[in-house]
Amino acid sequence: MSYRLLDAGWSLGPPAAPGERTPKFSPRDPETDAGHCLCGPVHVRGAEPGMTLAVYVEALRPGAWGWTAGGGWPHPINQYLGLTEQGVNVRWQLDPQRGTGTSDRGHRVALRPFLGVMGLPPAEPGRHPTSPPRFCGGNIDCKELTVGSTLFLPVTVPGALFSAGDGHARQGDGESSVTAIECPMERAVLRFELLPDLCLTTPRARTAEGWLTFGFDASLDRASLIALAAMVDLIQAEYGCERAYALALASVVVDLRVTQICNGVQGVHAVLPDGAIERAST
């Protein structure tokens, strides 16, 4: 499926100069459209709770502009740094062809685009905010989910009802200022596969580096434990060993990384690099 996506803030064009207003998509419902600008939900035929939806990221092309905020509102990091009243809005010119972004002060970075939001809805009735990531995906904000990666999501409702958005041209682990290079996506190609026999309780991903498992919780410590437990499960299944032995292997070769700390619910991903564990000879 091919998407063309606005940035998370519903912008129709690049961020305006100070004192001007950025044009926004309208009309928008102040309640149902208060969160990220997303495309979906996509109904996946045959999807039922207990199955897994594999999402293959096949192509991503960011738009020609982006923005990153730093300071300016009462968020914990801004409070810690004394930046609740003082902030900047960095504007970026993006060159997808060359794979570079240049800030309005002339600093250049290499682009590594991904979608911050890829997920399924929780099964509970009601309206659910787009900001917190959940066990069924959503605002994961993991910079590793670039082209060539595959995200595996636990199906929670009939039809899966997949949504995506929140284009990022580049982000560091943690998403420290609460924003990455926020940008539209001119083209995002995702392919879906339903895995009826794979039952997950948290997301996992396959990347060029290896396997990732995710944990989300209001506590960063708890998020770390969830991600690590999911990785222990994966090692058990991959190498046919008992749980304690899998934990010992994880302690030797698995890295825990902070995915993001900015969405109220903290994110951690555990990484098992390819080739880190050689299979036992028989």
* Residue 171 forms part of a structural domain: yes
Structure pTM? Answer: 0.95
Mean of all residue pLDDT scores within the chain? 95
Within 10 angstroms of residue 13's Cβ, the number of other Cβ atoms is 12
Instruction: For residue 81, give the CATH number of its domain.
Output: 2.60.120.580
Same domain for 66 and 83, yes or no, is yes
For the segment 33-50, what is each residue's pLDDT rounded down to a tens digit?
A: 889 999 999 999 999 999
Domain region containing 250: 204-273
For the segment 66-92, what is each residue's pLDDT rounded down to a tens digit?
A: 999 999 999 999 999 999 999 999 999
Strand pairing class (38-43; 160-168)? antiparallel
pLDDT at 20: 74
Same domain for 184 and 245, yes or no, is no
Residue type, 254: V
Please tell me the distance from the alpha carbon of residue 200 to that of residue 53, in angstroms, as a whole number: 10
Q: Report the pLDDT averaged over residues 11-35.
A: 86
pLDDT at 236: 96
**Residue 174 DSSP symbol:** B
Same domain for 165 and 265, yes or no, is no
Same domain for 116 and 60, yes or no, is yes
* Residue 255 forms part of a structural domain: yes
* Residue 135 forms part of a structural domain: no
Residue type, 183: C
> What's the Cα-to-Cα distance from 61 to each of 42, 48, 97, 166, rounded to whole Å?
21, 31, 9, 13
Instruction: For residue 269, give the CATH number of its domain.
Output: 3.10.28.20
* Residue 17 forms part of a structural domain: no
pLDDT at 85: 92
pLDDT at 22: 87
* Cis peptide preceding 125, ω within 30 of 0: no
Same domain for 122 and 246, yes or no, is no
pLDDT at 19: 64
Same domain for 54 and 124, yes or no, is yes
> What's the Cα-to-Cα distance from 203 to each of 51, 53, 54, 88, rounded to whole Å?
12, 10, 10, 34
* Residue 164 forms part of a structural domain: yes
Same domain for 171 and 215, yes or no, is no
Q: Check: CB of residue 211 under 8 Å from CB of residue 231.
A: yes
Q: Among residues 177, 195, 213, which one ends one of the domains?
A: 195
Same domain for 160 and 250, yes or no, is no
Q: Among residues 173, 195, 217, which one ends one of the domains?
A: 195
Same domain for 90 and 66, yes or no, is yes
Residue 211 makes CB contacts below 8 A (sequence gap 6+) with 204, 205, 231, 234, 271, 272
Q: Report the pLDDT averaged over residues 209-226.
A: 98
Higher pLDDT, 212 or 279: 212
pLDDT at 282: 64
* Residue 18 forms part of a structural domain: no
Q: Check: CB of residue 52 under 8 Å from CB of residue 202.
A: no
Residue 58 makes CB contacts below 8 A (sequence gap 6+) with 147, 189, 190, 191
Q: Check: CB of residue 160 under 8 Å from CB of residue 154.
A: no
Same domain for 126 and 185, yes or no, is yes
Same domain for 160 and 237, yes or no, is no
Number of domains into which the chain is organized: 2
Same domain for 184 and 76, yes or no, is yes
